[in-house]
A and B are shown apart, each in its own frame.
Chain A
Amino acid sequence: MTITRSHTGPIAEPTVPVLYRLADVSKTYTQKKRVVKPLVGVDLVIPRGEFVTIQGPTGGGKSTLLQLLGALDRPTSGRLTLGDTDLAEASNSALGTARAREIGFVFQGFNLIPTLTATENVDMGLEPLGLTAAERRSRVTDALSHVGLADRGDHRPGELSGGQQQRVAIARAIAKRPRVLLADEPTGNLDESMRDEILDLLQTLNEDGLTLVVVTHDSAVARRATRRLRLEKGTIRDITR
């Protein structure tokens, strides 16, 4: 269950534990001497276990919102919490810890390291956790199995299809066992069949209890979501029917 509002009005508390809570969040930055306001007074609550998609026109603030949710950036004003952590006030180190332990990222361009194998790429996501080598090996194997690439662990990204690369990226994100998986146009570089593969995988992960927040232009992705949001001119509204 997702609760959103525009600038004013009460926020109804969800009945399930809250993962993200945004209160009057705004973001302003300067780009080429122009002040840009991609987010203006956004209020949003995302409970655990939800599959949320964020749609909207290019430049509407989707990626900015995803970066705030991903602890990659801080809001200019407002309050943003992930569980008990106030991401708006957290130190760089605390943001880094949140990214390392609680948030998984999947990017449109996969962002795998080309010189490393699939296994090693997945392992890179576990690097900051300080796990034992055995635990890391076990998690990497599990994650690759989960995305159906157990037999491709020694392949480098260049030796894999786009869909397989995205699956490796998903394995890297889930190997750390995060509380939320944030995906920015995860099917943007894939053909239709590969897109469906990835969507099936994401849906399975959500059904297993993982919270998903996916930025997309693709209505096919949005149709799989339990909650659909639209971000336009810095403000957000719920378009779930």
Chain B
Amino acid sequence: MYFTYLRRELSGRTKQTVIVSAGLAIAIALVIIVNALTAGVRDAQTQALESVYGVGTDLTVAGAQQEPDERDDSRFEFDQDGGATADDGSTTLAQSQLRTEMGRGTLAAATISTISAIGGVSSATGALSLTNSTFSGELPQTTDGGTSTEGEAGTPPADGDQQGGGGFGGGSFDVESFTVLGVDPAVQAVGPLSSVTASEGRALDTGDAGQNVAVLDATYATTNDLAVGGTVDVGGTTMEIVGIVSSSSSDTDTASNIYIPLDVAQSLAGVGDVVSTVYVQATSADGIATVRDEIETALPDATVSSQSDLASTVSGSLSSATSLITSLGTWLSILVLAVAVVLAVLFTMSGVSRRTREFGTLKAIGWSNGRVIGQIAGESMVQGLIGGAIGLAIGLGGILAINVIAPTISSATAATEAGTSGRPGAGGPGFASAAQTATDITLSAPLTPWVLVAAVGLAVSAGLVAGAFGGWRAARLSPAEALRSVA
């Protein structure tokens, strides 16, 4: 009889049932979609970061930012033998330079040992971020009969691998730059190598230390028509290409154009036994904060960044999406849910008022308070469950639509202000402020089981809240007064 009465009441009060259920459905669908989108954006953010910092990196440690007067301004310097002078007096110049990232200090390689010795550190490795810039061109004879022996590269465009062309007084020259990352071939589990896989040839391995070998990013190799078995000039040294790598994630790019052994990078750049960034993996997520504190104590001049700090370096439309979803989406969900619950409560209480005679009669014929409250709570609960089921369907439909449409959003990871100098600057000398890389990431909305549980839980909770208010009102109803009031 309980369910018959419940069913008849809900179907007999269709308008109320539809309004309450629809309100809850919209709220729950919003909660599901916003949560799935939030998870999707978080995944995208992780992908963007992993492409740069490597899979499993919990902390990065970088050298302190240098003051402007400490900076080694990027400039090409040519001595008397720097070029060949032709009969017409013009001079042909070609020079390749390998430099560390502008404006960012380096760390002694011994820092890696220091960090590895800290309790709670599972693994640590260092990388040296370099930019290779090549100046090549022909300079005309100067009006005073001399030859220009020194030239500034100027300010090339601020995106990654760029070729800047220029000319003056009838001369012409090109400035070409690409990023080089010196990595420890022996450490694959953490750091930049953890996020790449060899699509051709092989990745760097332990035996490559000290060898003039290089692994190229697949996109860079294709663009520059380079292949395994060929060679590439890095800092004036010919490197054998042993592999082509691409990001482990199909949605993101790799962190560098070229990877070479760390010791070779240090030697070519002439910077000594230093690294730009140390990538640290903690033994457990709980210990990250402690490890961070200990590193900061041990290395007061270094900049330590956690994943959350790294996340703040993600910009572009991915950042906008994160902001939109975490702020507007969440608040909208809460607001709609609150409105739906209030609506359900008001309708239920109004229903109890309208049904005063009914409940008074039921009490008069012997129904207990508990039985009446159970009836009201049951009706509210079923309204909630109907709303939950419809909301679940709409939410799943929304998630499916997002995954089918698979919108692409762009992200950029900046390596300048947040102290996350772990990725190589994409610009050449003079491009320090443009040290960021753009990545297009396909946004997905993953469905997690807890979202389904949460949806049902929210629906039941909303029904319970409405039922509790309605039941409370009905419980206070004296049968004598109820019958008197409608007599």
Interface hit among A18-26, A39-47, A107-115, A202-210: A107-115
Contact assessment for A128 and B480 in the assembled complex, using a CB-CB cutoff below 8 Å: no
Flag whether A51 is at the interface (Cβ < 8 A). no
Flag whether A224 is at the interface (Cβ < 8 A). no
Flag whether B298 is at the interface (Cβ < 8 A). no
Contact assessment for B366 and A72 in the assembled complex, using a CB-CB cutoff below 8 Å: no
Partner of B371, one of A70, A116, A128: A128
Nearest Cβ in chain B — how far from A89, in angstroms? 17
Decide if the interface of chain B is mainly helix, strand, loop or mixed: helix
Q: Write out the residue numbers on chain A whose beta carbons fall within 8 Å of the beta carbon of B358.
A: 111, 113
Flag whether A49 is at the interface (Cβ < 8 A). no
Q: Write out the residue numbers on chain A whose beta carbons fall within 8 Å of the beta carbon of B12.
A: 114-115
With A and B bound together, what is the CA distance between A124 and B366 in angstroms?
A: 10
Contact assessment for A100 and B480 in the assembled complex, using a CB-CB cutoff below 8 Å: no
Q: Can you list the 4 inter-chain pairs with the closest CB atoms, starting with the nearest?
A: A100-B366, A115-B12, A115-B8, A111-B361
With A and B bound together, what is the CA distance between A101 and B368 in angstroms?
A: 12
Nearest Cβ in chain A — how far from B11, in angstroms? 8
With A and B bound together, what is the CA distance between A67 and B8 in angstroms?
A: 30
Nearest Cβ in chain B — how far from A33, in angstroms? 16
Contact assessment for A72 and B480 in the assembled complex, using a CB-CB cutoff below 8 Å: yes
> Which B1-21 residues have C-beta < 8 A from chain A?
1, 4-5, 8-9, 11-13
New A-B pairs, 20, CB < 8 Å, besides A125-B365, A128-B366: A72-B364, A92-B369, A93-B368, A96-B367, A97-B366, A99-B366, A100-B366, A104-B365, A105-B361, A107-B361, A108-B487, A111-B358, A111-B361, A115-B9, A116-B8, A124-B1, A124-B362, A124-B365, A125-B366, A172-B365
Flag whether B476 is at the interface (Cβ < 8 A). no
Flag whether A73 is at the interface (Cβ < 8 A). yes
With A and B bound together, what is the CA distance between A122 and B405 in angstroms?
A: 57
Closest to A110 in B: B361
Flag whether B42 is at the interface (Cβ < 8 A). no
Contact assessment for B4 and A120 in the assembled complex, using a CB-CB cutoff below 8 Å: yes
Nearest Cβ in chain B — how far from A220, in angstroms? 21
7 contacts between A and B (CB under 8 A): A73-B478, A101-B366, A105-B361, A120-B1, A124-B1, A127-B367, A128-B365
Q: Write out the residue numbers on chain A whose beta carbons fall within 8 Å of the beta carbon of B479.
A: 72
Check A96/B368 contact, CB under 8 A, given A63-B484, A115-B9, A127-B1: yes
Contact assessment for A127 and B371 in the assembled complex, using a CB-CB cutoff below 8 Å: yes
Check A107/B366 contact, CB under 8 A, given A113-B358, A120-B5: no
Q: Write out the residue numbers on chain B whose beta carbons fall within 8 Å of the beta carbon of A111.
A: 357-358, 360-361, 483
> Of residues A97, A127, A129, which shows the largest number of chain B Cβ atoms within 10 Å of its Cβ?
A127
